[in-house]
A and B are shown apart, each in its own frame.
Chain A
Amino acid sequence: MDFYLTALLQGLCFSALALGIYISMKIFNIPDITTDGSYTLGGVVTGVLLTHHQSPYIILPAVIIAGGIAGALTGLIHTKLKINALLAGILVMTALYSVNLTIMGRSNLPLISVSSLFSLLNLVKDPNQNAFWILSVFVIVITFLIGYLLKTDFGLAMRATGNSESMIRALGVNTDRMKITGLALANALTALSGYLIVQFQGFADISMGIGIVIVGLGSVIIAETLINWFRITKVWLSLVLVLTGAVIFQLVLAFTLAIGVDANLLKLITAGFVLLIVSLPRLSFLKAS
């Protein structure tokens, strides 16, 4: 059972990442893969600041700002230099690998005797349950903030930017600035996932972000399937489903490991699983029924 609890906790850690991907992919319609880099960046900044015994009040904003800058860079390259969003993301992601390595000074940073978010607050005795409550509060606050943001006038303009650029420009919105802000927000959220995961697993690693974008994509695609299924139009519910998607995704991976699938095949299974969810609505035998 502990195994699945860990998966649930990881799912909660990844829900910020999933919300980030939801914002870039679903709201702005931009395929952003800065993710791999900004996730590691969030983790690396957290690790280094923790080992330097910095206050948690500094670490959290620092992570958000670092992720935001990474996203804003991708946004600037994409909008101002008119470079394909995918390529802009790859460029920033690649550059971030060196940046991350430089910040850390080495490729792996253990955080064993360092106090973290999870040792700071002791709500219940069991460390896993303690982590569960802390993560839940964290995720609820983030979801609430994003949910509120998307309902404001600014949020409406964000959503319209991904929908109909000609319309929202005619309504007085600088779409370039909007996209840069959106990508900054998305990558700040992604960095937050790095922040959570590093403290949860107790180390930062330069390769922790490799292929992490698929975790976010998978979560969002699970959520999208559910959104279409239940014909959901409410923003709040969509966000909750994205969180659900992130948790389901981790549970499925935990399940495949539990039934004895070789851990080396995990990425292959992950890719296959995402492919399955994407193709599910398009498979002909389901359509017929």
Chain B
Amino acid sequence: MIVIKDVHKVFNRGKANQVNAVNGIKLNITDDEFLVIVGSNGSGKTTLLNLVAGSEFPDIGSISIDSNDVSKLTDYKRSQWIARVFQNPISGTASDLSILDNFRLAAIRTKAKGLSIGINDQFKQQVKEKIATLGMGLENKIEQPMGTLSGGQRQALTLLMSVMDSCKVLLLDEPTAALDPRSADVVMRTADKLITDFKLTAILITHNLKDAYNYGTRIIQMSEGLVLRDLSNSQKSDLKQSDLFDWFG
């Protein structure tokens, strides 16, 4: 699904604060794979994710999604395949818009935003049913501004929004970093369920080693812009949680 070929990314080239964020990564992520990326701060995880999403462009190398070379495609064009959940819940939703409006925009992610009113009773019903599956009681609050919800609720809704329109790749950039343990648990379980149900190819960045242990079908550890360890599903299931902690020892 996603093929990353010898990608390099350098920030502030030639200056004193030059950062070699990604140093020639090669990665082949197959269909329906749920890849977990761990690594210390500055190891290049987020840059790699931004390169896949199109928020950053590779200096050298190429990235393809679903056999399309997307190396030069902007993030809003890559949205035809990719849905994203950001670390900050505010980044993934529009605070002043109602839950319903947010879902409407998500439902037309891969389509043109035209000059017709897209929200009707049928759509409202559809959104209500989707939101009811979260069991958060938000289905009766769809007219409320997104900004009135908690971070956990917003992250959970962002996840649901990602499958409102056809989606192949789901990028999760530390989606639970700003949440309390209980909300974090709900968000991770929702993500896992959606990834399985909709057969998504997913990339999760996390600093939570418990999540890294519990979720995903493949795990890589990044260090200094390169893949340090790469464990397939079977290798990952042999892994003990304490081994993960030792990686960072």
Complex alpha-carbon distance, A151 and B145, angstroms: 15
A174: chain B residues at CB < 8 Å are 74, 76
Q: Say yes or no: A160 contacts B105, CB within 8 Å.
A: yes
**Given A152-B115, A153-B104, A156-B101, is A171 in contact with B96 using a C-beta cutoff of 8 Å?**
no
Q: Say yes or no: A170 contacts B108, CB within 8 Å.
A: no
**Given A167-B93, A233-B98, is A156 in contact with B115 using a C-beta cutoff of 8 Å?**
no
Q: Taking the complex as formed, is B23 at the interface, i.e. its CB lies under 8 A from any CB of chain A?
A: no
A233 nearest in chain B by CB position? B145
Of B95, B108, B113, which is in contact with the most chain A CB atoms at under 10 Å from its CB? B113
Q: Taking the complex as formed, is A105 at the interface, i.e. its CB lies under 8 A from any CB of chain B?
A: no
B96: chain A residues at CB < 8 Å are 159, 163
Which 3 pairs, one residue from A and one from B, show the smallest C-beta to C-beta distance?
A172-B79, A163-B94, A160-B94
A residues near B, CB below 8 A? Answer: 148-149, 151-154, 156-157, 159-160, 163-164, 166-175, 233
A159: chain B residues at CB < 8 Å are 94, 96-97, 101
Contact with A along B46-57 (1 / 0, CB 8 A): 000000010100
User: Which candidate, B60-68, B82-90, B206-214, B231-239, is the interface stretch facing chain A?
Assistant: B82-90
A171 nearest in chain B by CB position? B109
Complex alpha-carbon distance, A149 and B114, angstroms: 10
Complex alpha-carbon distance, A148 and B94, angstroms: 20
Q: Say yes or no: B75 contacts A154, CB within 8 Å.
A: no
CB distance from A148 to the nearest CB of B (A): 8
Of A148, A152, A156, A172, which is in contact with the most chain B CB atoms at under 10 Å from its CB? A172
Q: Taking the complex as formed, is B110 at the interface, i.e. its CB lies under 8 A from any CB of chain A?
A: yes
B74: chain A residues at CB < 8 Å are 174
Q: Taking the complex as formed, is B136 at the interface, i.e. its CB lies under 8 A from any CB of chain A?
A: no
Q: Say yes or no: B117 contacts A169, CB within 8 Å.
A: no
Q: Say yes or no: A163 contacts B97, CB within 8 Å.
A: yes
Complex alpha-carbon distance, A244 and B41, angstroms: 52
Q: Say yes or no: B95 contacts A164, CB within 8 Å.
A: yes
CB distance from B42 to the nearest CB of A (A): 21
Complex alpha-carbon distance, A133 and B90, angstroms: 45
Q: Say yes or no: B113 contacts A173, CB within 8 Å.
A: yes
A153: chain B residues at CB < 8 Å are 104-105, 108, 113-118
**Given A169-B75, A171-B106, is A163 in contact with B114 using a C-beta cutoff of 8 Å?**
no
B82: chain A residues at CB < 8 Å are 170
Contact residue among B91, B106, B109, B116 (Cβ-Cβ distance under 8 Å from A166): B91
Complex alpha-carbon distance, A120 and B90, angstroms: 52
A149: chain B residues at CB < 8 Å are 115
B110: chain A residues at CB < 8 Å are 172
Sampled A-B contacts (24; CB under 8 Å): A148-B117, A151-B117, A152-B118, A153-B108, A153-B117, A154-B115, A156-B97, A156-B104, A156-B113, A160-B94, A160-B102, A160-B105, A163-B96, A164-B90, A168-B105, A169-B76, A170-B76, A170-B79, A170-B83, A171-B79, A172-B79, A172-B108, A174-B76, A175-B76
Complex alpha-carbon distance, A170 and B102, angstroms: 12
Complex alpha-carbon distance, A173 and B113, angstroms: 8
Q: Taking the complex as formed, is B20 at the interface, i.e. its CB lies under 8 A from any CB of chain A?
A: no
B108: chain A residues at CB < 8 Å are 153, 171-172
B116 nearest in chain A by CB position? A152
Q: Taking the complex as formed, is B92 at the interface, i.e. its CB lies under 8 A from any CB of chain A?
A: yes
A171: chain B residues at CB < 8 Å are 76, 79, 105-106, 108-109
Q: Say yes or no: A152 contacts B117, CB within 8 Å.
A: yes
CB distance from A163 to the nearest CB of B (A): 4
Q: Say yes or no: B95 contacts A163, CB within 8 Å.
A: yes
